[in-house]
Structure 1
Amino acid sequence: MFSQMFLPLVFALGSVLTYASPTQPLQDRSYHVERDGTKYVVFDHAQTGARMEFVNNSGICETTPGVNQYSGYLSVGDNMNMWFWFFEARNNASSAPLVAWFNGGPGCSSMIGLFQENGPCQFYNGSSEPSINPYSFNEYANMIYIDQPIGTGFSYGTDTVDSAASAAPFVWKLLQAFYTQFPQYESRDFGLFTESYGGMYGPAFTSYFESQNAAGAGENVKLVALGINNGWLDSIYAYKAQIDFLYNNTWRNIIDESTYNSLTDSYNSDCLPALQQCQKSNSDTDCSAALNTCGQEIEDPLQQAGDFDVYDVRSGSNDPNPPATYSTYLTQSSVTSKIGAKVQYQECPEAPYDKFATTGDDSRTYLENLSTVVQSGVQTLIWAGDADWICNWYGVLDAANAIEYDGQDEFKSKALSPYTVNGVHKGDYKSVGSLSFLRAFAAGHEVPYYQPELALQVFIQTMQKKAISST
């Protein structure tokens, strides 16, 4: 349903990454191995029973002198191998915060964000080789891109995850092993940025991290910031907004009044009651039924209503942006061997998404989790490109207004104001306390691709634990 979700791909298993079993000595240990000509650092993490296996400084993507990178796997369970790619900050790496990036799907690779949005390199002007991205988020922060759940991107093995909530413990486990292998990051400010189905991931992950911190379950995750770009935050707002946006938006009105009225009636009579029942019972049966009802009666008819790109309504279905060059690049054996990848890259395989569909997870709401995070003082940025349809800014703003915290009434009633980057009007925004909302002008689903300068500015401001503000 979400970011690059409509691409059925075949998941190819490669060699199995070994993991630390309960019978192995309960002590951290680090050593080196070489497999198929690739040299790995191996680290066994005693507390979680996990094994991390990664390549030092592959030379791929980030070519800034003196900036380190690590790429490889963490075993988060028996034959459950989660891919990560870490890039050191280009500036002040020894004191810069740590930020994790997650793409959506569910089941879409975070290599999308790395190569198409906010990572150290992008493919410019039709080139088949990447070049340095001057607006990369690692200009400011140490960045780790994570492919989850298992079966997504370069991750492989057994996938047991069927909801955002069930995904959270595995991500926490990866961070625990990462902190132990790289203790210099333990006390750093930590931020989580995500998009699309990240509207579910972000609240589920951050609220889980905070609960683990409160329980003293492992190394403290010093959460200071959460960013959600074009997020599916609550299906009740999102499906209604899909109808409204196609009828009346800045770029292209795609449905007529008759279609609008018909689909609004369907939403009110069938989709909305099903979603309300799901969110009341939280049962897989009710939530799956809601997913099917709203998909068949709202989302499917809307997608068939005209020729438009669901991620950027300004263009037809053949819109080439952002370029998909990176996915071909990641199939090259010369690249995968350097970065330590063990399986064929799969951008958005269907299998992980299908597991979420069986529980109807996208019909649930994680707004209560999100409210808890905002209430705790975590600086939270909810932002959206105004040309995206699938998770459009109408529904994103409605959901942001529903976040419960001390400043909710003021936030909800506050009008949007111009947001500028070096004096140029790039969007509209509002901020109250620890919550900011931004509508980014002339941007599709992947905002950092369309508005890189704006994206870096709001990223830095949020990671500095500030409400966003114009420059």
Structure 2
Amino acid sequence: MMHRLDLLTLVTVLSVACTTASVPNQKIISGSNICYVSNSGICETTPNVTQYSGYATVGEDMHMWFWFFSARQNPSTAPLVLYLEGGPGGASEYGLFTQNGPCKFENENDTEPVFNPYSFNNFSNVLYLDNPIGTGFSYGSGTQVNNTKEAIPYVWNALQIFLDEFEEYQGREFGIFTESFGGRYGPELANYILQQNHAVRVGSIEGKEINLKALGLANAAVDTSIKERANIEFAYKNEYRPLINESLHDELLKFYEEEARPALANCTALGTREACYNASRLYYRNIEGRIVQSATTLYDDFVPYDVRKNRTIPPMSHVAYLQREDVRVALGAKVKYRDWGGGMSFLLDGDDARSSLSELTIVVQAGINVVMYTGDADYVCNWLGTLQVANAIEWSGQDAFKKQVLEPYNVDGQEVGTCKSVDNLTFVRVFGGGHNVMWYHPVTVLSILRQTTFGSLL
């Protein structure tokens, strides 16, 4: 177990900084600031690893929480990675404590985290942000964002404030990693960064270019029209156990073609709250709801995140831990931790029915390294759908990518999945992984990311 600190005493001697940052986007940020605690002693215990935790004020009364850990090796030259949890409205501490952060909880009832040897900061400097305002430790009564496109500029603002404060990370190779609903966040943010970089270069805005090199999408929901059809096929035929029978499969497929797909196409064409919410409600009630009802009738242990018998899912011990007063004070957080928040407005806006395939296409076309990796026991964002999304990206390598067959992917001499890769686009199916794939197979995921994001392709 990690050494327990007397945190309420320790916080009195911590280095706490509040400085005024320059403002790259006057329209959104006016008089922004950054306040943070240095080296709180929470989570990361590796000697000489720096951490900061605190707030970037990204808009009027909009305080976005960040938690940064320097790389365990070569921090002065290592890339800078941003991790965003999905949701919508998921706090990034969920990913931090269950999958890719410096510490983790091994069991559901544990009260203290332990060292994680498979952290993202093994090879990169890592920044976690709680997006949107209202989730995690983020707080404020300012502008409410209702969808991904409205939220992303504030994430960019947080990055600008961070880079202004910590100049040593300016110009570093930069990657975005995310999962689940992050299939909307990741491509949208990557595309926005490319747009803002151009605007900075031509002088239409003030700011710092972000050296975007990589986008990692884990079990990601990028395009709902592709995803919903794939969900029907996966529910009927997957490697573990069927969730629906043939007659229900045929019925759902007919409904998809006649009702759901046209509604989703209408959402894509109009982009309005009404069109997208109607599409979302349609497929949730008539496809997702019926599949889940069938699966729970067939199996009393069914969960959509891991369809296998005797399934497992990550423990949630981090929630109680982060809600402890001593931990909150030590980190410099000003509100009680919420593992989910701020996402209901996204759902009511129908944002889950929208697609980020066009943005993902632009990112691939720009030469950014993109890796899509998916645990094959997940129903929610299953590997059939993510593979079809990868095949649908229109770029110079599309024909070669579509024609390429999946080949064995090996780690330490063991076949742990299948993959295909052309130029800067890679897809990996991870055997026996659920929705939060890195929790199931941390060694495999670290291997994938180190090979495909800032290094050579598979």
**Within the alignment, does 1:135 sit opposite 2:118 as a pair?**
yes
Answer whether contact 1:379 1:465 (CA < 8 A) is retained: no
Cα distance in 1 between the residues matched to 2:64 and 2:377:
33
In the alignment, which residue of structure 2 is the partner of 1:89? 71
In the alignment, which residue of structure 1 is the partner of 2:398? 408
1:358 to partner: Cα distance: 2.8
**Within the alignment, does 1:251 sit opposite 2:245 as a pair?**
no
1:222 to partner: Cα distance: 0.2
Render the CA deviation track for 1:15-51: whole Å, top value 9, x for unaligned.
xxxxxxxxxxxxxxxxxxx999976211211224321
Render the CA deviation track for 1:37-96: whole Å, top value 9, x for unaligned.
976211211224321111000111100001010011111111111111000000000100
Local SS of the residue matching 1:226: strand
**Within the alignment, does 1:267 sit opposite 2:264 as a pair?**
no
* Greater mean alpha carbon deviation, residues 151-160 or residues 171-180: 151-160
1:368-447 to structure 2, matched below 5 A, reads 368-447=358-437
Local SS of the residue matching 1:81: strand
**Within the alignment, does 1:328 sit opposite 2:320 as a pair?**
yes
Local SS of the residue matching 1:143: strand
Q: Count how many residue pairs are aligned between Structure 1 and Structure 2.
A: 431
1:12-161 to structure 2, matched below 5 A, reads 40-47=16-23, 48=29, 49-125=31-107, 127-158=110-141, 159-161=143-145
1:392 to partner: Cα distance: 0.8
Answer whether contact 1:38 1:340 (CA < 8 A) is retained: no
**Paired letter, 2:136:** G
**Within the alignment, does 1:180 sit opposite 2:180 as a pair?**
no
Local SS of the residue matching 1:344: coil
**Paired letter, 1:367:** L
Answer whether contact 1:137 1:459 (CA < 8 A) is retained: no
In the alignment, which residue of structure 2 is the partner of 1:234? 223
1:315 to partner: Cα distance: 4.3
**Within the alignment, does 1:311 sit opposite 2:288 as a pair?**
no
**Paired letter, 2:324:** Q
Cα distance in 2 between the residues matched to 1:374 and 1:104:
21
**Within the alignment, does 1:341 sit opposite 2:333 as a pair?**
yes
Answer whether contact 2:321 2:327 (CA < 8 A) is retained: yes
Cα distance in 2 between the residues matched to 1:311 and 1:73:
32
Of 188, 191, 203, which residue of structure 2 is paired with 1:204? Answer: 188
**Paired letter, 2:305:** Y
* Greater mean alpha carbon deviation, residues 140-149 or residues 126-135: 126-135
Cα distance in 2 between the residues matched to 1:172 and 1:271:
34
Cα distance in 1 between the residues matched to 2:402 and 2:377:
23
Answer whether contact 1:88 1:141 (CA < 8 A) is retained: yes
1:321 to partner: Cα distance: 2.4
Cα distance in 2 between the residues matched to 1:357 and 1:135:
33
Structure 2: tracts of 5 or more residues without a match: 1-9, 24-28, 297-301
Cα RMSD of the aligned pairs, angstroms, is 1.6
1:327 to partner: Cα distance: 1.1
Answer whether contact 1:224 1:465 (CA < 8 A) is retained: no
1:334 to partner: Cα distance: 1.2
Answer whether contact 2:408 2:417 (CA < 8 A) is retained: yes
Local SS of the residue matching 2:295: coil
